[in-house]
Amino acid sequence: MKKTEPFKLFGIFGYPLGHTLSPYMHEAGFRAIGLDANYIVLELDPDSFRTAMRDLKKCVLSGFNVTVPYKETVSRYLDKVSTEARAIGAVNTVYKKGGKWYGTNTDMEGFLLSLARDAKFSPRGKRAVVLGAGGASRAVVYGLSKEDAAAVTIVDVFPEKAGRIAEAIAGIFPKTDCRAFAAGDPGIRDRIEEADLVINATPLGLKSEDPLAVSQEWIPKAGRRPKLFMDLIYNPERTRFLKIAGRRGHKTLNGLGMLFYQGVRAFECWSGGKAPLSAMKTALLEALQGKGKS
């Protein structure tokens, strides 16, 4: 008789989490491979998150994702963190193995796969501007530098945060010219003008009333050399940032591909097998459509 696998529970920690589509994707994946499991949303404020992490040994979850604002702090509660996640300075996927909790970062791989497959873009020898210096930005900057980007400019309202990322990357990938700028610095305009890729890695754009992460006047017309403007936000599908860049003749890409590919890798960490790509992608697209109508 075939042994029945016990029920498993997975989830995502973050604050806020009203926008997440991860449950739709992962639950479709569980159904497709016949895994008796659910994926729940765990929207916890910082105090509640710290309490949950301190009690991780008693946690009934078999694995979980971590998103804003906990990617950079969750590692202190884990038994082991992958070398790459440690270097990036952020963990977004946690899984249990032999009673111990392991952290890794699937954001970086998801980001690079989306660039390659969805935008046909290679970072090698290119110049990029990354707006934001949070956990997602760390994965993006690491990925670009790993793929031999010529230069990466990191912009944040807290320039010391951007500076720490630039300093860490310089120690790992010295061939990439990694610089930090304070948001609003006029020099950013020149960096965008010279860039091949401009990425919004801030949460600005989740709400319609949000300001742009960079001055509208600093987004140039494409002319003969269109750039790729990417927004890691996937809901709404086209943020104001992408709309303006598109109207000025640039190529645009949202964060849905990155969400999908990082989710695929997280699913494989939890299940130990190949992810059912078609089922997961279909569920993700249907969920996004539904959210757009609500």
Is residue 241 within 8 A of residue 198, CB to CB? The reply is no
Residues paired with 37 in a beta bridge: 8
If asked whether residues 96 and 185 sit together in one domain, one would say no
If asked whether residues 166 and 236 sit together in one domain, one would say yes
One-letter amino acid identity for 244? Answer: I
Residue 63's closest CA among 273, 260, 271? 271
If asked whether residues 101 and 112 sit together in one domain, one would say no
- Per-residue model confidence (pLDDT) at position 294: 40
How does pLDDT run across 218-247, given as a tens digit for each residue?
Answer: 999 998 899 999 999 998 889 999 999 999
If asked whether residues 263 and 187 sit together in one domain, one would say no
Flag whether 248 is in a domain.
yes
Report the C-alpha gap between 242 and 228 in whole angstroms: 10
If asked whether residues 178 and 47 sit together in one domain, one would say no
Whether 281 is catalytic is: no
CATH number at residue 115: 3.40.50.720
Structural domain tally of the chain?
2
Catalytically annotated residue among 3, 58, 71, 161: 71
Flag whether 89 is in a domain.
yes
If asked whether residues 277 and 239 sit together in one domain, one would say no
CATH number at residue 59: 3.40.50.10860
- Per-residue model confidence (pLDDT) at position 292: 53
How does pLDDT run across 85-114, given as a tens digit for each residue?
Answer: 999 999 999 999 999 999 999 999 999 999
- Per-residue model confidence (pLDDT) at position 4: 64
Q: Which residues of the chain have pLDDT under 50?
A: 1-2, 293-294
Residue 112's closest CA among 253, 279, 268? 253
**CB-based burial of residue 39 (10 Å sphere; 0-12 exposed, 13-18 middle, 19+ buried)?**
buried
Flag whether 2 is in a domain.
no
If asked whether residues 116 and 214 sit together in one domain, one would say yes
If asked whether residues 15 and 59 sit together in one domain, one would say yes
If asked whether residues 180 and 232 sit together in one domain, one would say yes
Flag whether 165 is in a domain.
yes
If asked whether residues 172 and 250 sit together in one domain, one would say yes
Flag whether 230 is in a domain.
yes
Flag whether 245 is in a domain.
yes
If asked whether residues 182 and 72 sit together in one domain, one would say no
- Per-residue model confidence (pLDDT) at position 291: 66
Domain of residue 164: give its range. 108-254
**Which residues are within 8 A (CB) of 188 and not within 5 positions of it... i.e. 6 or more apart?**
129, 153, 155, 181, 214, 218
Flag whether 237 is in a domain.
yes
Is residue 237 within 8 A of residue 261, CB to CB? The reply is no
Phi, psi angle pair for 30, to nearest 5°: -60, -45
If asked whether residues 283 and 228 sit together in one domain, one would say no
Residue whose structure tokens are 């963990």: 91
Scanning 21-157, the segments in alpha helix (DSSP H) are 22-33, 46-54, 83-88, 107-118, 135-146
Residue 247's closest CA among 226, 261, 272? 226
Tokens, residue 204: 């600005």
Flag whether 183 is in a domain.
yes
